[in-house]
Amino acid sequence: MADIASAAPRQAPAAPRFSIRGALSAAEIDFRLFGMLLALVAILVGFNVVNEGTFLRPENMTTLAVQGAGVAVLATGMVLVIVARNIDLSVGSLVGFIAMSYALLMTNWLPNILGMGDDFPFRWLIALALGVGLGAVFGAVQGFIIAYVGVPSFVVTLGGLLSIRGAVWVLSQGAAVSGLDPTFQLLGGSAQGSIGGTLTWAVAIVGSLAIIALIVYNRRQRRRFGFPVRPMWAEVTIAAVGCLAVIGLAAFANGNYWPVGAATRYAQEHGITEPPGGLKIAVGLPWPVVILIAVTVVMTFLATRRRFGRYVYAYGGNPEAAELAGINTRWTVVKIYILMGVLCAISAAIAAARLNGSTLDVGQSYELYVIAAAVVGGTSFAGGIGTIPGAVLGAFVMQALAYGLAYTGYNSPIQNIVAGIVLVLAVGFDAYNRRRGGGS
């Protein structure tokens, strides 16, 4: 028996053992990102099992995505802040300040000071542009003090956290403000604030084509210079998996229908006779999710394809080397904070639109969730390491845990306990993995 057992393996050729990590590295897929995706899926499936299959439904996932979008948008910028060896504690307060500004702009300042009444065209866009400008200015001021005056970012943005939150109170004199422009409200992602079934399919098709175009373009570029290219099976598999994922998500999002009341009202308004069982209007992707997708694509492009991103990573990896290479490192840091301010304005728009107004505590504690998302997503405080898709995934891992626990019936103290433990575990696992040399 023993002889046969020991002889058997000898007959097999010494082919390299198939390993997931080996296949991934041949396909040049980020092992870490893949692990995060698996963790997210595991969390969702886990809650689905615990809740006897009621959890993984389009309406729940849509709500989860809308709730997580505001933090995820900010996390894409926080990655660059932390990669460049800085921190921004003021994002929550700045979101609150800009959200309050949107509310006051549309209820008071635009109509009463600038004479733009309810019927003024593109009022929502004017408010949005002013908010983005406000975010950029706040970011520029903080960035200037950090980069040119030399006050540590922790101190500057801690000051920002306190004083900007105070400024929210001063703006509204302590009152909550409500009543936004109807178009602006759509940014909040209600049933109406979604792009609908047809556009969701369109987004999926554009996304699939973009994935294929990107793979073909990269392969052509490498061929042009005669560099080694990925094996064909890897290219095809990646393209197929990417397109299937995009189309699958679109189909899933379109499985969510308008609430019965809203659908009935819509049918009456448009003179449609409701079919038996009610009118089924696909909700599709909510606007906050569309915004998040756009922000993620643009930020990834900035971080990986533009000189700005290269300089951010170079500065984070070795500030002295970046300086000696002739990079204007101070201006780079200011630009990061300007970008962070703009993202605060986008996140604030989603928050204000969801509330149809603003209160004193919009954005409260966001800075903590955002930093946690970036760190769970693989951003290192040592500087120079972190990816934007990773941070978005990190935000959704945290959001999925919170939402899933709430859905299962645990209150927010329990959610916080779990979130804190997961944060430390994720970073601990990462540190362990890197020490074993698996990080590269």
Partner 1 sequence: MAVAESEPLVEMSHIRVAFGGVHAVDDVSINLHAGEVIGLVGGNGAGKSTLMKALSGAHPPNSGEIRVEGRRVTIANPRDAKLYNIECIYQTLALADNIDAPGNVFLGRELTTMWGSMDDGAMEDATRKVMGRLNPNFKRFAQAVKSLSGGQRQAVAIARAVHFNARILIMDEPTAALGPAETSQVRDLIRQLKTEGIGIFLISHDIHDVFDLSDRISVMYHGRIVDTIKKTETTADDVLGMIILGKKPEQVTQKELAELQLPGQSPAPNLAS
Binding site for partner 1 (CB under 8 A): 221-222, 224-225, 227, 301, 305-307, 310-311, 313-314, 316-318, 320-328, 384-385, 440
Q: Which is nearer to partner 1, 223 or 265 (CB)?
A: 223
When the beta carbons of 32 and 123 are compared against partner 1, the nearer one is 32
Min dist. Cβ of residue 295 to partner 1 (A): 18
- Burial pattern 189-211, b for ≥16 Cβ within 10 A else e, equals bbbbbbbbbeebbebbeebbeeb
Structure letter (DSSP) for residue 113 = I
Q: How far is the CB of 308 from partner 1 (least distance, A)?
A: 10
Q: Between 36 and 314, name the residue whose CB sits nearer to partner 1.
A: 314
The one-character DSSP state at 109 is I
Give the whole-angstrom CA distance, residue 229 versus residue 219.
7
| Token representation of residue 251 | 């189909």
Q: How far apart are CA 234 and CA 23, in angstroms?
A: 9
Compare residues 225 and 277 and give the one whose CB is closer to partner 1. 225
Question: Could you tell me the smallest distance in angstroms from the CB atom of residue 269 to partner 1?
Answer: 46
Instruction: State the minimum distance, in angstroms, from the CB of residue 387 to partner 1.
Output: 12
Q: Name the minimum Å distance from CB 324 to partner 1.
A: 5
Smallest separation (angstroms) from partner 1 to the CB of 314 = 4
What are the backbone angles phi and psi of residue 274, rounded to the nearest 5°? -70, 130
Amino acid at 138: F
Non-local CB neighbours of 160 within 8 Å, separated by 6+ positions: 89, 90, 93, 94, 138, 142
What CA–CA distance (Å, rounded) separates 246 from 112? 45
Least Å distance, CB 302 to partner 1, is 10
How far is residue 306's CA from residue 312's CA, in Å, rounded to a whole number? 10
Q: How many beta carbons lie within 10 A of that of residue 370, not counting itself?
A: 35
**Smaller CB separation from partner 1, 150 or 277:** 150
Nearest to 110 by CA among 97, 133, 127, 128: 127
3-state SS, residue 257? strand
Confirm if 319 and 85 have CB atoms less than 8 A apart. Answer: yes
Smaller CB separation from partner 1, 198 or 221: 221
DSSP-assigned beta bridge partners for residue 358: 177
What is the Cα–Cα distance from 192 to 196, expressed in whole angstroms? 8
Nearest partner of 200 among 258, 285, 295, judged by Cα: 285
Closest of 212, 177, 399 to residue 289, by C-alpha: 399
Measured at the CA of 174, the angle between CA 170 and CA 179, to 5 degrees, comes to 105
Least CB distance to partner 1 at residue 228 (A): 9
Minimum CB distance to partner 1, residue 436 (Å): 14
Report how far residue 64's alpha carbon sits from residue 395's, in angstroms, rounded to the nearest whole number. 11
Q: Which is nearer to partner 1, 327 or 419 (CB)?
A: 327
| Closer residue to partner 1, CB minimum distance, 274 or 323 | 323
Q: Between residues 17 and 436, which has the closer beta carbon with respect to partner 1?
A: 436
Nearer to partner 1, 74 or 334 (CB): 334
Q: How far apart are the first and last CA of the chain?
A: 43
For 241, the 3-state DSSP assignment is: helix
Q: What b-and-e string marks burial along 12-36, b requiring 16 or more CB atoms within 10 Å of the CB? A: eeeeeeeeeeeebeebebeebbebb
Residue 357 or 390 with smaller CB distance to partner 1:
390
Residue 175 C-beta: closest distance to partner 1, Å: 46
Q: Give the shortest CB-383-to-partner 1 separation in angstroms.
A: 8
